[in-house]
Each structure stands twice: as structure tokens, then as C-alpha cells.
Amino acid sequence: MTLPAHHHHGRGALPVWDPFRELEDLHTRMDRLMQSAFPGGAELGAAGAWAPLADVEDTEDAYLVELEVPGVDKDDIIVEVTDSEIDVHGEIKEKERTGVVRQRARHIGEFDYRTSLPPNSDTEHISAELTNGVLTVRVPKAEKAKAHRIEIAG
């Protein structure tokens, strides 16, 4: 049984449960299950694109989404953002081979990764960088959403 994701914000703070993260984790686990049960799903006639493996990190000032896209040129990736969602899609092209392929486990073809953005995301200042086959999308947190202490009068 999987327990809810807890986040600690300083000493003595109560853990915070994030239902959106739970849904994203479930979606990721289901994708992996389907990919392991039906490798090369596109060849089996499955409709739609596959989703690359991804990590989402919540740092003090930003959310980082890291996607594994080995062998993909930055010109073959499109990152689109709305107020509530990031959509990364593109294509891993099949490379030309001279021999007989005896085993195929790597994904080829179109891919699509979507994730919801928390309400405190600064969608005007998102950046993306592709390094060593990992696409990192940095979503800064809005200044107004950062936690701060309120002094009690009286």
C-alpha cells in the first residue's frame, strides 16, 4: 500500500498531503505498468503517444520537471504552458540500422507528457533546458505565494 506524499516545511511543521501529487504518481505508475505489459504499444495498434519517464521536484523557489528524452534534438520537442498545465510533446525518430534488430526495448515515435501546475506557479517565467538527454522545465513559484510569518498584535 502506498502512503500519501508528505512534505515537511521546517522544524515542527505538520506534514502536508498533496492530492494532486498523489494523482500524478498514480498516473505515472499506471503508465509504467501499461508500458511494461505492452512494450512497443504503438506497434500493437494502441492509439496515442507514450509518456517519457519524469521526476517532479518542489524546491523552495520553483517546481522542476525533468523528463528523460535520450537522443532527441531540442528542435523535436515542444513545451507548451497554460495557466494550469504543462504539455511536453515531440518525437523520437527511429534511427537507420544496417543489421537485424533482435530486441527492441527503447521507445520510438511520438511522446506526450502533461502535468498540472499548482496555483502558485509563475507561468510567465518558465524556462526549459535540454542537457545529456534530460529536459528540465523550471516553473518559478509566484512571489505572493511564498509562505511568510504573520506577527500577532495585542
Quote the DSSP letter at residue 96.
Answer: P
Per-residue pLDDT tens over the stretch 121-147: 999 999 999 999 999 999 999 876 556
In angstroms, how far is CA 89 from the centroid of its own chain? 11
User: Cell numbers of 134, please?
Assistant: 534530460
Per-residue pLDDT tens over the stretch 54-69: 999 999 999 999 999 9
Which phi and psi (to 5°) does residue 109 adopt?
A: 95, -170
